[in-house]
A = this chain, B = another copy of it.
């Protein structure tokens, strides 16, 4: 067993350190993520093959741009509050205790907090290589790079 230093046995998820960079999106999209706070959880324990984040969405905040992944599977579980799940075909109100999964190449999706109160959820996404993301409602495409994302306009010009 490799030695692991400074890895906690367990933590209170809502107390985990927030990710310092609030959004990877280029301008002007990054600003639309204002208020969203992601707290990486799995990384704190050395989990590598998937990411597990605690996400806080204040009233009016959104999870991400309306998007779908080409490779990554995603799963979310609502911990508190009310969140609207927007997909290609429907809008669905999610309450605490509800969950949803988004297989790669499935419906595009986005979570929006249209309530007047805070909402929190867990999100899980695998880290398989070669991922890309399409945004049906924005002039944006993203491809996975070694240490982040490369964003382009849909005509291929860079941001």
Contact = CB atoms under 8 A, between A and B. Distances in A.
A102 B74 CA distance: 19
Contacts of A41: 75, 77, 99, 101
Interface residues of A, number: 49
A134 to B, nearest CB: 10
B124 A50 contact: yes
A8 to B, nearest CB: 8
A9 B107 CA distance: 10
A12 B92 CA distance: 12
A52 interface: yes
Interface string A42-60: 1011111110101000000
Given A4-B106, A41-B75, A49-B50, 5 more contacts: A1-B68, A9-B90, A10-B94, A52-B124, A77-B122
Nearest to A124: B124
A3 B28 CA distance: 33
A122 B77 CA distance: 9
A75 B124 CA distance: 10
B99 A49 contact: no
A139 to B, nearest CB: 20
5 closest A-B pairs by CB = A45-B101, A46-B103, A49-B126, A10-B100, A47-B101
A14 interface: yes
Interface in A1-54: 1-2, 4, 7, 9-14, 41-42, 44-50, 52, 54
